[in-house]
Amino acid sequence: MTCIGNLKEKFREYDIAMRTCLPQVDKKLITELLLMKKDEAPMYTLEIFLKKNANIQEIRERVAKQTGQVATFYDKGTHMVAAHRITLEMLEEICQHEDVEEIKGTHIIRGSASIGPSHERTSHDEVWNDPDSIDNLDWEEIKGKEARGMGDDDLGEVQELRGNIVVTKAGVIDKKVYNIPKSLVERYDGHKLWFNVTKEEAKSKYEVED
């Protein structure tokens, strides 16, 4: 395996670990915390998106007890915002609460104040690797869209969904056809369908005769 290939493989393992350990947490937030080696518990405006009908008072009291801060709520109690220091371990504990659907955050630079809410709940046209969400995609709409792999690898265009297989076709003259398992779909952003696979892996594992 080349150096770049090894780098892509390590990133794939890291991506899987993030989705396994902290499934509701924004990947950018996890990476930021890991890179902040000098500050083990940096200050963040933490935004937690909750299910409808969550027990707001109970959550408010829990936040006050654990952080000493007062949480504010928006969007009929489904968007909670609180500024306090966080760690990966704290995010892991938050993820264990059944009312929590998604967690995002903004770093508060020393000497500045919390900016309040600045994130939106992940939109419906940006579906991450959630089996239920993937199954609800409009595959007729996705036909003809670009298929992309890890590192923005070009996997051609989406041709069809055949059972649990997504068929893509790449190339103009020497056409390559890939039968990629639907389980490897990472997200659809409204323009491109992203897979958790490299082009090298697609060629070796999923390429078929046209």
Read off the CATH number of the domain in which 11 is found: 3.30.70
Would you call 110 exposed, middle or buried from its count of C-beta atoms within 10 A (0-12, 13-18, 19+)? exposed
- Indicate if 88 and 19 belong to the same structural domain: yes
Q: Residue 190 is part of which domain span?
A: 131-208
Instruction: Tell me, yes or no, whether 72 and 149 share the same domain.
Output: no
Residue 25 lies in a domain: yes
Non-local (6+) Cβ contacts of 45 within 8 A are 81, 82, 83, 105, 106, 108, 114, 115, 116, 117, 118
The predicted structure's pLDDT at residue 123: 54
- Number of domains forming the structure of the chain: 2
- Sheet hosting strand 72-74, strand order edge to edge: 72-74, 79-85, 43-50, 100-107
pLDDT at position 36 is 85
The per-residue pLDDT for 135 is 63
- Label residues 170-196 b or e (16+ Cβ within 10 Å = b): beeeeebbbbbebebbbbbeeebbbbb
3-state class of 208 per DSSP? Answer: strand
The pLDDT value recorded for residue 119 is 86
| Residue 161 to residue 140: CA distance in whole angstroms | 9
Q: Which stretches of the chain drop beneath a pLDDT of 70?
A: 123-136, 172-174, 210
Which CATH number covers residue 150? 2.30.30.240
pLDDT in tens, 114-142: 777 888 887 544 444 454 456 667 888 89
